[in-house]
Amino acid sequence: MLREEVARRSGGSCDCINLICGGKILKDDGGSDSLLQLGLGNNSKPGALCSVEGGRTA
């Protein structure tokens, strides 16, 4: 759900979005885990990377 929202706001596709928090890449296995279940607390600050053509990140 977060990945889709980041993609929507950035104008990219979900396939190019990678979410990171606490030095770990958050995996999206298609499950219904909430952000709390994934280990993100109220003060967590996840980051998003978008892979673009040519292998560069923005």
* Dist CA 33 CA 23 (whole Å): 19
- Specify if 55 maps to a domain: no
Residue 19 domain boundaries: 2-50
Q: pLDDT digits over 42-56, tens only?
A: 888 888 888 766 655
SS3 assignment, position 24: strand
Per-residue pLDDT in tens (0 to 9) along the chain, 58 residues: 778 888 888 887 888 888 888 888 887 666 667 777 777 788 888 888 887 666 555 5
DSSP at 28: -
In the chain, how many domains are there?
A: 1
- Specify if 30 maps to a domain: yes
